A and B are shown apart, each in its own frame.
Chain A
């Protein structure tokens, strides 16, 4: 903290870094919390099937479940590589 910062009351510590990192990871983990247990395996198996035909990396298949009241929607998002 510089001399002038002391009078400005400016915070230069690492606490805001901690807060930002926590907000991101906590939001991410809360999103996963409500997902069914089988999703990671489903994602792996889908990847294996798609790889028989196209070479794609792990992060190119996204599987999510959206709940709207009484019905759930399984959302599958596959990004194919550019030709």
Chain B
């Protein structure tokens, strides 16, 4: 049985696809057979972030509609050989993702994969509902900002009432908070909600904190998941999050600004 994990947020632009790319790459790098599915029908972007946009022939909707087999649609990652990408359709209607169709594909993937990562579209419309419906776990990507936190709370409510686990009365979807675009300096100045503030409001366990970093744009420009930038703070923060997701204990990092001494502040204008 595969672990089915949805990456969701409600609000757009908080880093769902960036997170899906890095988390799936990180899990696969540890030797687990992993597939990452793009649920954003009509606004396909995971392929760009994963640098396989020119290798897309068939997609998720083709498989659902019986126009292609799964093995025809799955794209094997060029960097990590246990990682596969299932791109979505750029032209079909969102409603092409039927509950039965999605279930069929997920069941078939479950037979051969250890992890299925579902990259949700923004919003709470059909595509987002389909992405979270079959999930065992949810990574709720949140920015330390009022609209994102409120939307995350809304998504948590939907996970608790509209997911298959909720409808079947099974054990609830396991929730993880991933705080992204975190700026410890602004938090220290009291200009940004702290990790503690967001944890207190949403009341779900913290998976990790990804610091705001220029490397994220740099790596998306090149189609490289941030986690592969192993030297960078954001890359390491994603690696920590993956380790925790797989049950490892890792202390939280990147939550405080690197304290500069009085002299370095004087001389470097810090």
Instruction: Report which A residues bind B (CB closer than 8 A).
Output: 1, 11-16, 18-19, 21-23, 25-26, 29-30, 33
Contact partner, A13, options B154, B190, B201, Cβ 8 Å: B190
B189 touches A1 (CB 8 A): yes
B150:A22 contact, CB within 8 angstroms: yes
Within 8 A of A (CB), among B140-156: 145-146, 149-150, 153-154
Question: Quick check: B189 and A29 within 8 Å, CB to CB?
Answer: no
Which chain B residues lie closer than 8 Å to A12 at the CB level? 190
What's the nearest-Cβ distance from chain A to residue B104, in Å?
A: 30
Asked if B191 and A22 make an inter-chain contact with CB atoms under 8 angstroms apart, the answer reads: no
Residues of B contacting A: mostly: helix
Q: Is B193 among interface residues, defined by CB-CB distance under 8 A?
A: yes
B150 to A25, Cβ gap below 8 A? Answer: yes
Q: How far is the CA of A60 from the CA of B194 in the complex (A)?
A: 39
The 8 Å CB contact of B192, one of A15, A22, A26, A33, is A15
Say yes or no: is B197 at the interface (Cβ < 8 Å to chain A).
yes
Q: B189 near A26 (CB under 8 angstroms)?
A: no
20 A–B contact pairs at CB < 8 A?
A12-B190, A13-B190, A13-B192, A14-B190, A15-B191, A15-B192, A18-B146, A19-B197, A19-B200, A19-B201, A21-B146, A22-B146, A22-B149, A22-B193, A22-B201, A25-B150, A26-B150, A29-B154, A29-B157, A30-B153
Footprint of A on B, CB under 8 Å? 145-146, 149-150, 153-154, 157, 161, 186-187, 189-194, 197, 200-201
Contacts of B197 in A (CB 8 A): 15, 18-19
Q: In the complex, what distance in Å separates the CA atom of A36 from the CA atom of B192?
A: 36
- Given contact pairs A15-B187, A19-B201, A21-B146, A26 touches B193 in the complex (Cβ within 8 A): no
Given A13-B191, A14-B190: 12 more A-B contacts, CB < 8 Å? A1-B189, A12-B190, A16-B190, A18-B145, A19-B200, A19-B201, A22-B150, A22-B201, A25-B150, A29-B153, A29-B157, A33-B157
In the bound complex, what is the Cα–Cα distance between A16 and B197 (angstroms)?
9
> B193 and A15: CB pair below 8 A?
yes
Q: Kindly provide the distance from the CB of A16 to the nearest chain B CB, expressed in whole angstroms.
A: 7
The answer to whether B157 touches A30 (Cβ under 8 A) is: yes
Taken together as a complex, chains A and B put the C-alpha atoms of A23 and B186 apart, in Å, by 21
* A15 pairs with B194, CB closer than 8 A: yes
Beyond A19-B197, A23-B201, whether A13 also contacts B189 by CB under 8 A is yes
Chain B residues near A23: list those with CB within 8 A: 201
CB of B203 to closest CB in A, whole Å: 10
Q: Which among A22, A25, A33 has the greatest number of chain B C-beta atoms within 10 A?
A: A22
Q: Are A11 and B193 in contact (CB under 8 A)?
A: no
Q: Which 10 A/B pairs are nearest by Cβ-Cβ distance? A: A13-B190, A11-B190, A13-B191, A33-B157, A19-B197, A26-B153, A15-B190, A18-B146, A22-B201, A15-B193
Q: Which residues of B contact A22 (CB under 8 A)?
A: 146, 149-150, 193, 201
Known: A18-B146, A21-B146, A33-B157. A26 touches B201 (CB 8 A): yes
